[in-house]
Amino acid sequence: MAKHYGGEAESRLGPTLAAEHWAAEHGLEVDAETLRCWMLEAGLWERWRRRKRRRQRRARKAHFGELVQMDGSFYEWLPGRRRRDCLLNLVDDATGASLCRLGPEETTWLAADGLRAWVEHYGVPRALYVDWKNVYHRPA
């Protein structure tokens, strides 16, 4: 059994699927529960999956204007137009205050217009966080 199904942990079959494969390949019916016990003894199976560690969420900023996050979302925002527009959303990290702009594409001009509107309405943010997209940088 270990010779056939004892590869890397990610590629190993579970006991139910391994029992089905074993029956198809070798013509021997083995109960999945029996096979699970054998696999546990041989170290080929674990009772619980080891989950990948999740990233720890960072704490929100303490004061308004410390960090503004900017991101665009494509959707048919205006029904009946049959066109996917980009809704650019600027959100203050501390308070959740939001300002939006709608445009046909997520462009530098739309981002600049959104940021200009934010500065006129709320003032200059201390930091601006954007996704790492081609809109905001030029390849070398």
Where residue 62 falls among pLDDT bands split at 50, 70, 90?
very high
Of 34 and 113, the structure prediction assigns the larger pLDDT to 113
Closest to 73 measured CA to CA, from 56, 83, 62, 88: 88
Pair of tokens at residue 64: 């308004």
pLDDT of the residue at 88:
94
What ranges do the domains of the chain cover? 2-42, 68-130
pTM value?
0.59
pLDDT digit string, tens, across residues 76-134: 998 888 889 999 999 999 999 999 999 999 888 999 999 999 999 999 999 999 987 76
Give me the mean pLDDT over the 57-75 stretch: 93
Mean pLDDT of the chain: 85
pLDDT of the residue at 15:
82
